[in-house]
Amino acid sequence: MAAGPERERADAARNRRRLLDAAARLVAEQGADCVTMEAVAAAAEVGKGTVFRRFGDRVGLMIALLDQAERGSQEAFMFGPPPLGPGAPPVERLIAFGHERLRHTAEHRDILLAAEDRMRRFDVPARGVLVMHVSTLLREAGVDGDVDLLTETLLAYLDTALAQHLEQGRGFSCDRIRAGWDDLVRRIVRPLGPA
């Protein structure tokens, strides 16, 4: 009897991978906005109900698609080489973190925007990792004040929709946006007293 549940888990994992592969293919071919649960089901050759049971809804599917990329980004800032990873001063790490998140946002913007849900966007586990990382670096840098609110302020700068608006709506270059991040970090962590 023990083999039954293991087999189900292996089957479930294979089905999940098959659905995500189909969804990724469709996103690459058509863009995230054009991908429906029905299209993923057809591409994976399963019933539509299977996709809904596995991911809940389209936002859940997009969040699952982002999971692998998010894990790679998290590994880089938690365990990678400095200045993004451990070993560099907190300010340098914060600056490198912002650059990495802006790169990540640009690379995965289509799926990130499709995965956004106003009611869930602040509750996804990956965001909790970002909050913890930024707040830890701010504390290590000796920042006074409301670190929790400053963390949210910094993360708001890295918001996918804002980055898209700045680039496409306002015509800001990627270099200008990165320089703005660097300036914001330095202003928040600057030492008190005369410069």
Scanning the structure block, which residue is given the tokens 């709506």?
169
- The per-residue pLDDT for range 37-61, each reduced to its tens digit, is 999 999 999 889 989 999 999 988 9
DSSP 74-124: HHHHHHSSTTTSTTS-HHHHHHHHHHHHHHHHHHHHHHHHHH--TTTTTTS
**Annotated domain spans of the chain:** 1-56, 58-189
* Rounded distance between C-alpha atoms, residue 193 and residue 179, angstroms: 24
Q: Tell me the pTM.
A: 0.75
CATH architecture for segment(s) 1-56: Orthogonal Bundle (1.10)
- The per-residue pLDDT for range 115-138, each reduced to its tens digit, is 776 555 666 778 899 999 999 999
Cβ distance 93 to 137 under 8 Å? Answer: yes
Question: How is residue 131 annotated by DSSP?
Answer: H
CATH architecture for segment(s) 58-189: Orthogonal Bundle (1.10)
CB < 8 Å & 24+ apart, contacts of 172-175: 174/102, 174/106
Determine which of 46-50, 146-150, 163-167, 183-187 has the lowest per-residue pLDDT on average.
46-50
